[in-house]
Amino acid sequence: MKRYLVILALVLGTLAFLFAAGKALSEDLTFSRAYADYVYNMDLYNKAHSDYQVARANYLQYGTLISKQNAQDATLKMLQARDEVIKTYLTALRARLSEAAGVSTDKKNELFALIDTEVSWIINHEQSLPSAGSLDDLVKDSNEVKDHYGPVELLIYRVLTTIAVGKTTALRDREQNVLGPLNTKITEIKANGDKDTTVAERGVLDIQAKLARSQAKEDEAFGIVQDMKATASNKNSIYDDALDSVGQALQYIKESGSLLMQIITNIKTKD
């Protein structure tokens, strides 16, 4: 009887394990999940940072051995939480890029490789933190990340711009795909000779010009981010300038969309 029970338990256990493993494998790290992880770690960092500030103030005021030890402990926890925030943020950014439309696979892979390198660096840094034996060592460890974070920010803004530009690129591609069948229809109408196609033909040329301008604005956005310096203190506002260019690219796409509708109305209306 015992033997049967053991066999039954083993079979059920194996089935449960296979089911759980299959489910875990089928679940990719989606952006929403990665983002929730980042937000959670940001909360932990804020708490650790607040504790660090209190411990630091106590140490600077009293300078006792206990306050020094407390400051060291709090600093270590805060630095670990800070590294964790950077790591989870980069992971969320990677997941968002993975889901981004209008970005080529090659471009994605190139950026994935750069993000992965930074994630590995921060993991190694986080693992090395507990070996710090003094406050001075912890300050040095903190400065390592400070010096490294400038180039990381450049990468972050590059990825964010790529995601934003991908959105307009996807829309522009859809409009360009419409131009083929539209041109075919205009040529057919012209051949039939029962309708003047001058307005429609001119409209198509205007659309092509607007789409070209849209692409130029996207290139401009990339150029702005490309020129960003790692030491720049106003990276966020530079990124906003890049987004303004993407916004202008979107405006051209909207205008060409409106022109497309005008052409269709013209085709559907008797002369």
Partner 1 sequence: MEIPANIPTTPPPASKLDLQKIKELLRQASEKLKADPKMKRVLVFAGAAFGVIFALLIVGTIAKSLMGVRKVQKVSPSPTPTATQSALPEILNPSRYATDSAVLSIEDTVKSINQDAGSLDIREYNLRPPTLDFGINFTK
| Site residues, partner 1 (CB under 8 A) | 1, 4-5, 8, 35, 38, 42, 45, 49, 56, 59-60, 71, 75, 78-79, 82, 85-86, 89, 92-93, 96, 135, 138-139, 142-143, 145-146, 149, 153, 156-157, 160, 163-164, 167-168, 171, 174-175, 178, 181-182, 184-185, 189, 194-195, 236, 243, 246-247, 250, 253-254, 257-258, 260-262, 264-265, 267-271
Amino acid type, 31: F
**Minimum Å distance from CB 28 to partner 1?**
19
- Angle formed at CA 148 by CA 144 and CA 151, multiple of 5 degrees: 170
Whole-angstrom Cα distance, residue 112 to residue 97?
Answer: 8
Nearer to partner 1, 25 or 35 (CB): 35
Nearer to partner 1, 25 or 192 (CB): 192
**Minimum Å distance from CB 97 to partner 1?**
10
Nearer to partner 1, 23 or 268 (CB): 268
Nearer to partner 1, 109 or 187 (CB): 187
Q: At what angle do helices 105-128 and 135-192 cross, to 10 degrees?
A: 170
Nearer to partner 1, 25 or 252 (CB): 252
**Minimum Å distance from CB 134 to partner 1?**
10
- Angle formed at CA 199 by CA 198 and CA 201, multiple of 5 degrees: 65
**Minimum Å distance from CB 217 to partner 1?**
11
CB-based burial of residue 180 (10 Å sphere; 0-12 exposed, 13-18 middle, 19+ buried)? exposed
Cβ neighbors of 93 (< 8 A, separation 6 or more) are 115, 156, 159, 160
**Minimum Å distance from CB 168 to partner 1?**
7
**Minimum Å distance from CB 22 to partner 1?**
20
Nearer to partner 1, 114 or 250 (CB): 250
Q: Which two tokens stand for residue 257?
A: 């969309």
CA distances from 113 to 70, 117, 151, 161, 230 (A): 39, 6, 15, 17, 19
Whole-angstrom Cα distance, residue 232 to residue 193?
Answer: 62
